């Protein structure tokens, strides 16, 4: 079964408010409210579903918010992914995104509450079970407060032991720890890479991550396009011009594209183009986890990967 395991250590109930304009200190009339299960790995699974790739979402959930999240996710079960929920005591967090009339998004993200060592052990065991028969694994997003910084590295080790390629999208010390575990792809954005770059430019910093253990590094840089680096050199894919909307799910869509490429055996330059096109198509969607498939197919032939090093 060529399913992708989408590990989500820090899920959330995502709430999106649409307003005409966002002004500090003012009272706002909300035009529309959207509430849906979230977390970066959940968004990755939804995009994979749109690409007809089956996925398994692994999430720790707790409290009434966690119960709602599981029920809502399982309501989506028949539409392309299954849910492996790991019960924990901590209440699942919420995130709030305010989108104004221009399409500008402002995000307010609650921190995930701490889990116990035993709960993390259960989460790792559930992931190991999900990896049986999997074609790829993604590890996406931040970690809850107090989580072990090497959690993504442990997840990469589980995937390696199962013979499953891994894509990691996280930041800070957890990203560095994951890199040393030897993932197939890591996908920081420009800001996340800058946090660990010690003043180096993106290309030099990405090369350093390859030297530390990552097989490939993909850096999403917004209007500056996508950078891809491996031991053989670097590639650049320009951004699709004139795309405006909600960018919060663009990185998750790129991760889904990279996982899909691992499943399909897509050549590296074409995988980068696919990630850039799908990320741009996600910007045109109302919420993270959705993509404008017509735009995606329209963007693909307009993009190409250029070798830069």
The H-or-E segment that residue 178 falls in is helix 172-180
The H-or-E segment that residue 134 falls in is strand 134-140
- Rounded to whole angstroms, how far apart are CA atoms 31 and 289? 21
The answer to whether residue 152 is domain-embedded is: yes
User: Active-site residue among 252, 274, 286, 292?
Assistant: 252
The answer to whether residue 252 is domain-embedded is: yes
The answer to whether residue 139 is domain-embedded is: yes
Spatial CB neighbours of 231, under 8 Å, sequence gap ≥ 6: 210, 215
- Tell me the residue range of the domain where 269 lies: 3-11+37-92+116-307
- Rounded to whole angstroms, how far apart are CA atoms 215 and 232? 10
The answer to whether residue 136 is domain-embedded is: yes
163: left (phi over 0), alpha (psi -120 to 50) or beta: left
The answer to whether residue 254 is domain-embedded is: yes
The answer to whether residue 54 is domain-embedded is: yes
Looking at the 3D structure of the chain, how many domains does it have? 1
Q: Is 201 helix (H, G, I), strand (E, B) or coil?
A: coil
- pLDDT given for residue 79 in this prediction: 58
Per DSSP, what are the bridge partners of residue 106?
98
The answer to whether residue 265 is domain-embedded is: yes
CA 82 and chain centroid, separation: 17
Residue keyed to tokens 């959330």: 12
Active-site residue, 252 included? yes
> Of 97, 96, 99, 95, which Cα lies nearest the Cα of 21?
99
- pLDDT given for residue 77 in this prediction: 61
Q: Is 85 helix (H, G, I), strand (E, B) or coil?
A: strand
The answer to whether residue 18 is domain-embedded is: no
**Pairing assessment for the beta strands 233-237 and 306-307 based on DSSP bridges:** antiparallel
Number of residues in the chain: 309
* Contact (CB, 8 A) for 38 and 289: yes
- pLDDT given for residue 309 in this prediction: 73
User: What are the helix (H) ranges across 51-104?
Assistant: 63-75
From first to last of the 309 residues of the chain, give the pLDDT tens digit. 589 999 999 999 988 899 999 999 999 999 999 888 999 999 999 999 999 999 999 999 999 999 999 999 988 766 567 899 999 999 999 989 898 999 888 989 899 999 999 999 999 999 999 999 999 999 999 999 999 999 999 999 999 999 999 999 999 999 999 999 999 999 999 999 998 887 778 999 999 999 999 999 999 998 899 999 999 999 999 999 888 887 888 999 999 999 999 999 999 999 999 999 999 999 989 778 889 999 999 999 999 999 997
CATH number for 184: 3.40.1190.20
């Amino acid at each position: 079964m060529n399913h992708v395991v989408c590990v989500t250590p820090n899920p959330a109930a995502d709430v999106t408010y649409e307003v005409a304009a966002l002004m500090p200190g003012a009272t706002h009339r909300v035009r529309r409210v959207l509430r849906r299960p979230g977390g970066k790995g959940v968004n990755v699974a939804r995009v994979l579903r749109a690409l007809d790739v089956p996925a398994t979402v692994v999430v720790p959930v707790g409290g009434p918010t966690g119960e709602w999240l599981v029920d809502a996710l399982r309501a989506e079960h028949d539409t392309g992914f299954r849910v492996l929920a790991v019960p924990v005591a901590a209440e699942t967090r919420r995130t709030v995104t305010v989108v104004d009339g221009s399409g500008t998004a402002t995000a307010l993200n609650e921190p995930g509450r701490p889990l116990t060592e035993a709960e993390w052990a259960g989460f790792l065991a559930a992931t190991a079970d999900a990896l049986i028969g999997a074609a790829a694994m993604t590890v996406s997003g931040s970690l809850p407060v107090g989580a072990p910084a090497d959690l993504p590295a442990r997840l990469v080790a589980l995937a390696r032991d199962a013979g499953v390629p891994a894509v990691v999208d996280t930041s800070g010390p957890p990203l560095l720890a994951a890199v040393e575990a030897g993932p197939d792809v890591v996908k920081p954005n420009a800001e996340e890479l800058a946090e660990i770059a010690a003043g180096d430019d993106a290309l030099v910093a990405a090369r350093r991550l390859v030297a530390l253990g990552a097989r490939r590094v993909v850096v999403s840089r917004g209007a500056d396009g996508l950078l891809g680096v491996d031991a053989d050199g670097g590639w650049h894919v320009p951004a699709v011009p004139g795309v405006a909307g909600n960018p919060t799910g663009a990185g998750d869509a790129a991760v889904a594209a990279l996982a899909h490429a691992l499943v399909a055996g897509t050549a590296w330059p074409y995988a980068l183009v696919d990630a850039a096109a799908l990320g741009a198509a996600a910007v045109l969607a109302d919420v993270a986890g959705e993509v404008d498939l017509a735009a995606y197919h329209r963007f693909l032939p307009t993009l190409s990967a250029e070798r830069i090093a």
